[in-house]
Chain A
């Protein structure tokens, strides 16, 4: 799924990480930890194909099979949840878009507010919608940067249950960067700790 050899990323003179080797098989779960500014977000952006590595070899799956959640939920705040997911459903050419969107909104507790603007939502509700967007096209590789951010207890438990889902036909591979490693520790098959 992911293979990296001698991966490095620099911004000008600032070295974010160097010499990173990584192998993550389909169905694997990579837990990334480290203090603020240690390179977790940069690594996830590189793995998402959103930032080019400065050096090293990197093999990634095709971009349409990747689901990425950054620090922001990556949804349009002036659109409604339904409009946001419909837009991305179209761009991902989902065949049964309405059913999939309805199921996700229901599951994440956003069905009742599907016609309300995202700008009126709390940060936690926006994060839930961000997770809906990430899961919409059923990606095989999910890159989540601080996914528990702003989620309440119910939302966090919902995310836990998604981590625990197993689909043997389409195994999900996870890369999760978090400051709450205790929540996902038992699921991790690989660990990467930035200093």
Chain B
């Protein structure tokens, strides 16, 4: 129960920080709508649904990347990793709390992005919505881990895309193809790996 309580307290803190600062979510919303608008005008008429779907996934991945670059800003700028690491909670709780907050931002961005995509292109089916929901879990788990790694590095703005984008390729393949089982497998494997690895990532941030 204490683990759940720690995770809840940490996730609540991140949501509260965003509620106050209003930096991450508005940027993500603006970006994804702008990207879909550009794609709408860039694609020729009569483009296949599959091509449009590919662009939706590209927009979602880069929107997620935008959110992930902001995920650890408070911890980095205010040295909060030191205070969190000294607390007696399990260090993986820090990762899980942050992952849940990132997940919430992704879902909020997609609540706007998917209807916008449906309006601009050829609609969204249930399979795509399910694939996006599953992809969010993978993006949040892997992205949060890499976000923490990037915080420790010097070229952090470069490091996160370099780490995250290759790992997002399977998500795009699974998403565009609608391979839900593949996304479930990806989520399960990388959630466990990220959960276990986080302690070592922040060992000396």
In the complex where A76-B78, A88-B87, A133-B83 touch, is A50 in contact with B204 (Cβ < 8 A)? Answer: yes
Interface residue B13 (Cβ < 8 Å from any Cβ of A): yes
Chain A residues lying within 8 Å of B16, measured Cβ to Cβ, are: 78-79, 83
The count of A-to-B residue pairs whose CB atoms sit within 8 angstroms is 73
Cα–Cα, bound, A71→B82 (Å): 11
Chain B residues lying within 8 Å of A78, measured Cβ to Cβ, are: 16-17, 20-21, 74
In the complex where A79-B13, A79-B17, A91-B6 touch, is A70 in contact with B87 (Cβ < 8 A)? Answer: no
Size category, B interface: 20 to 34
Q: Tell me whether A90 and B6 are in contact (CB under 8 A).
A: yes
Q: Tell me whether A50 and B86 are in contact (CB under 8 A).
A: yes
Interface residue B130 (Cβ < 8 Å from any Cβ of A): no
Give the interface SS of chain A, mostly helix, strand, loop or mixed: loop
Name the CB-closest residue of A to B85. Answer: A50
Binds B, one of A61-69, A104-112, A180-188: A61-69
In the complex, per-residue mask of B59-101: 1 if CB is within 8 Å of any chain A CB, else 0: 0000000000000001000111011111111000000000000
Name the CB-closest residue of B to A62. Answer: B88
Give the interface SS of chain B, mostly helix, strand, loop or mixed: helix
- How many whole Å from A128's CB to the nearest CB in chain B? 16
Interface residue A166 (Cβ < 8 Å from any Cβ of B): no
Going nearest first, the 10 A-B pairs with the smallest beta carbon separation are A64-B88, A91-B87, A74-B83, A78-B20, A72-B79, A90-B9, A91-B89, A78-B17, A78-B21, A87-B13
Interface of A toward B, CB cutoff 8 Å: 45, 48-52, 63-64, 66, 68, 70-72, 74-79, 83, 87-88, 90-93, 117, 133
Interface of B toward A, CB cutoff 8 Å: 2, 5-6, 9-10, 13, 16-17, 20-21, 74, 78-80, 82-89, 203-204
